[in-house]
């Protein structure tokens, strides 16, 4: 098991609850990565469909998380996308200031 998954399984009262915690963690991190990197403005029903399929796909990622560092990889991906979005936002803000003057 990878680091974070092992920690969760060692410190939770049962393996069943640890599995749910890993699943929820994988889903939340996947949703963050999707939102930061790939999401577009869509109607509500399409967003519900996309996140439903993301939820179903996270079942497979949870099984992978038992043997591969999935949680750690999703954390790294989220951090990289956060840095990218913040730099892009800062550059767009500076460009707007220059174009106004």
Q: What is the mean pLDDT of the chain?
A: 92
Residue 22, pLDDT score: 95
Note whether 58 and 26 are within 8 A (CB): yes
Give the pLDDT confidence of 19-46 residue by residue, as tens digits.
999 999 999 999 999 999 988 898 999 9
Length of the chain as a residue count: 101
Give the pLDDT confidence of 46-94 residue by residue, as tens digits.
999 999 999 999 999 999 988 999 999 999 999 999 999 999 999 999 9
- Supply the pTM of this predicted model: 0.86
Closest CA to 21 of 52, 57, 65: 65
């Amino acid at each position: 098991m990878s680091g974070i998954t092992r920690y969760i399984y060692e410190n939770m009262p049962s393996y069943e609850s640890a599995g749910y915690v890993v699943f929820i963690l994988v889903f939340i991190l996947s949703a963050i990565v999707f939102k930061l990197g790939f999401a577009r403005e869509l109607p509500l029903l399409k967003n519900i469909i996309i996140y439903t399929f993301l939820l179903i796909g996270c079942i497979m990622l949870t099984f992978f998380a038992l043997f591969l560092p999935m949680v750690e990889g999703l954390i790294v991906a989220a951090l990289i996308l956060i840095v990218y979005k913040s730099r892009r936002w800062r550059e767009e803000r500076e460009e707007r200031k220059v174009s106004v003057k």
